[in-house]
């Protein structure tokens, strides 16, 4: 994993630089995400690793899968990845691109883990409070973990805010054992 990220980094940096120079960081997210989606598909992964599939066919596959969202610069990027046998690194490249974009925009990813499903309006109401705590603009996604019993746990980078019932019970157990 670490090796693939190391190899993917220069490609992600180049992609980010081109997107930044064009002034369309946000507009590039959708086509890059589409490329990542295609590269993550099991059939596409098999085609990428198949020596019987020509590089031109792979390029056509990625271009057609992305539809009208592929401009000349992105088409050249796909060709570059194909020429260097790096199409399989698109998931890592996409993740790095998004992290560079978020750093440029001053936003961070926040994973909100809840004991129960929460809807978009609840997340929207919670975000301003979390942005104050983490001192950053946040883009949130939600997952459900019933083992929390109640409450939420928020993970932003390497910071964790655990306001779950499970965490409180663990704290009480530790205090009682000491």
Which pLDDT score, from 0 to 100, does residue 156 have?
A: 92
What's the fold here for domain 107-177?
Answer: Glutaredoxin (3.40.30)
Which pLDDT score, from 0 to 100, does residue 51 have?
A: 87
Backbone torsions φ then ψ of 80, nearest 5 degrees: -60, -45
Which pLDDT score, from 0 to 100, does residue 61 have?
A: 86
d(CA 50, CA 110) in angstroms, rounded, equals 37
Q: Where are the beta strands (DSSP E) in the chain?
A: 107-114, 137-144, 151-156, 159-164
| Tokens 């603009």, residue located | 137
> Minimal CA–CA distance to 71: which of 11, 18, 13?
18
Q: Where are the domains of the chain?
A: 2-103, 107-177
Given the candidates 1.20.1050.10, 1.10.520.20, 1.10.3480.10, 3.30.390.50, the CATH classification of the domain at 2-103 is 1.10.520.20
> Does residue 2 have a pLDDT over 70?
no
pTM: 0.71
């Amino acid at each position: 994993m670490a090796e693939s990220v190391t190899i993917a980094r220069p490609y992600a940096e180049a992609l980010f630089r081109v997107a930044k120079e064009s002034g369309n960081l946000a507009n590039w997210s959708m086509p890059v995400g589409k490329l990542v989606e295609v590269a993550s598909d099991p059939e596409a992964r098999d085609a990428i690793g198949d020596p019987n599939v020509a590089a031109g066919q792979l390029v056509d596959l990625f271009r057609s899968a992305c539809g009208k969202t592929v401009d000349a610069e992105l088409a050249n990027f796909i060709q570059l990845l194909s020429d260097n046998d790096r199409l399989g690194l698109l998931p890592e490249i996409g993740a790095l691109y998004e992290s560079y974009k978020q750093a440029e925009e001053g936003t961070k990813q926040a994973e909100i883990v809840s004991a129960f499903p929460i809807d978009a309006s609840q997340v929207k109401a919670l975000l301003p409070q979390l942005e104050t705590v983490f001192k950053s603009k946040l883009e949130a996604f939600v997952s459900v973990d019933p083992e929390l019993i109640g409450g939420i746990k928020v993970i932003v980078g390497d910071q964790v805010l655990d306001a779950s019932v499970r965490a409180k019970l663990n704290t009480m157990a530790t205090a009682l054992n000491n």
